[in-house]
């Protein structure tokens, strides 16, 4: 039974590595979440980045994650925070996601965007303080970083791409709210980060925040251009301390799968994995097949 804590206690409570898994797999043909469960398992309290070049399918990946959370974990309060998004995309998300959708569209000024984001994370923290499990999906932490930069007073050093050094901390603080609280609730944050788009500022934002996460899902533009979806780079994706989330037997079989695939180029590796997943009714059946056919070293 989780404890109820006071409002002032959130950042004084002991954060632990995630130990309770969030299973995202739903139907056999929803391959996005099946792949994520294999290559980047997510636990309650995870702080994950989806690293995405343009047109690699990040919004679809995020939507499928939301579907998985809503379907498999009704005990979790699901929130989606959209920053700098087009209004029509917000409408689409609101109509397809069974959760709380908070939006600061591109026509909001930067201060409004940052205020909306801060209030959303604050509401999530308040729920966690009451012992609840919250999953917050953010699209994107990059656009949020840009908004903080535009709203900055200009008192910090100017970094690459015109980024004000003082604007880098607030989004990091929001990401840092993700945690699994000992004897309490949890806040899981999965945020997209934009890369490979020719923007020095966006590259700087990614470099600054990539070390804050404990799970990474790397999307690959070459896979998307080849119409291979989900366009996930298996070798570049993973979860730190995944041994705390997976049973030892499953961990060993997943490790065998990764070793078999990471020796291949990303496109070939994902193509092979998807072909195998399509012939099995679920990940459990796929892993049983792998266990029966791949010898242990």
| Dihedral sign computed on CA atoms, order 266, 267, 271, 272 | negative
* C-alpha of 194 from chain center: 13
CA distance 111 to 230: 34
Among the residue ranges 3-17, 192-206, 255-269, the one predicted with the least confidence is 3-17
> What is the structure's pLDDT at 209?
87
Write down the mean pLDDT value for the chain: 91
* C-alpha of 129 from chain center: 22
CATH superfamily of 11-246: P-loop containing nucleotide triphosphate hydrolases (3.40.50.300)
CA distance 11 to 27: 38
Q: Is the pLDDT of residue 297 over 50?
A: no
Average pLDDT, integer, range 118-139? 95
Tokens coding 293:
């056919």
Among the residue ranges 84-88, 138-142, 275-279, 290-294, the one predicted with the least confidence is 290-294
CA distance 237 to 221: 14
Q: Is the pLDDT of residue 294 over 80?
A: no
* C-alpha of 272 from chain center: 24
Pairing of strands 186-194, 47-52: parallel
CA distance 263 to 29: 26
Tell me how far apart the terminal alpha carbons of the chain are, to the nearest angstrom.
Answer: 42
Average pLDDT, integer, range 143-155? 85
Q: What is the pLDDT of residues 38-68, one digit of tens each?
A: 999 999 999 999 999 999 999 999 999 999 9
Residues 101/121, Cβ–Cβ less than 8 Å:
no
Better pLDDT: 6 or 185: 185
CA distance 125 to 175: 12
Among the residue ranges 3-7, 69-73, 126-130, 168-172, the one predicted with the least confidence is 3-7
Among the residue ranges 90-94, 139-143, 150-154, 225-229, the one predicted with the least confidence is 150-154
Strand partners, 190: 48, 137
Q: Which residues contact 40 (CB under 8 A, 6 or more apart)?
A: 48, 215, 216, 217, 237, 238, 239
Q: Enter the pTM of the model.
A: 0.92
Q: Is the pLDDT of residue 117 over 90?
A: yes
């Amino acid at each position: 039974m989780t404890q109820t804590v006071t409002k002032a206690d959130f950042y004084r409570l002991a954060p632990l590595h995630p130990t309770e898994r969030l299973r995202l797999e739903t139907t056999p043909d929803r391959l996005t979440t099946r792949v994520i469960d294999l290559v980047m398992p997510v636990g309650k309290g995870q702080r994950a980045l989806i690293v995405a070049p343009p047109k690699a399918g990040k919004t679809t990946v995020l939507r499928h994650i939301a579907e998985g959370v809503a379907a498999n974990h009704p005990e979790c309060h699901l929130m989606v925070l959209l920053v700098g998004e087009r209004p029509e995309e917000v409408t689409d998300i609101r109509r397809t996601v069974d959760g709380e959708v908070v939006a600061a569209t591109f026509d909001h000024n930067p201060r409004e965007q940052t205020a909306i984001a801060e209030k959303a994370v604050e509401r999530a923290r308040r729920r966690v303080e009451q012992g609840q499990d919250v999953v917050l999906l953010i699209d994107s932490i990059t656009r949020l970083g840009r908004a903080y930069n535009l709203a900055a007073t200009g008192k910090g050093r100017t970094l690459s791409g015109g980024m004000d050094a003082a604007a880098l901390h607030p989004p990091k603080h929001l990401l840092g709210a993700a945690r699994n609280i000992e004897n309490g609730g949890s806040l899981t944050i999965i945020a997209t980060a934009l890369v490979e788009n020719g923007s020095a500022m966006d590259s700087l934002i990614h470099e600054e925040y990539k070390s804050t996460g404990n799970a990474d899902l790397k999307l690959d533009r070459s896979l998307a251009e080849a119409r291979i979806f989900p366009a996930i780079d298996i070798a570049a994706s993973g979860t730190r301390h995944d041994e705390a989330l997976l049973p030892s037997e499953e961990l060993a079989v997943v490790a065998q799968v990764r070793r078999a695939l990471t020796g291949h180029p990303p496109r070939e590796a994902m193509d092979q994995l998807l072909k195998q997943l399509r012939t099995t009714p679920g990940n459990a059946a796929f892993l049983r097949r792998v266990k029966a056919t791949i010898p242990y070293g």
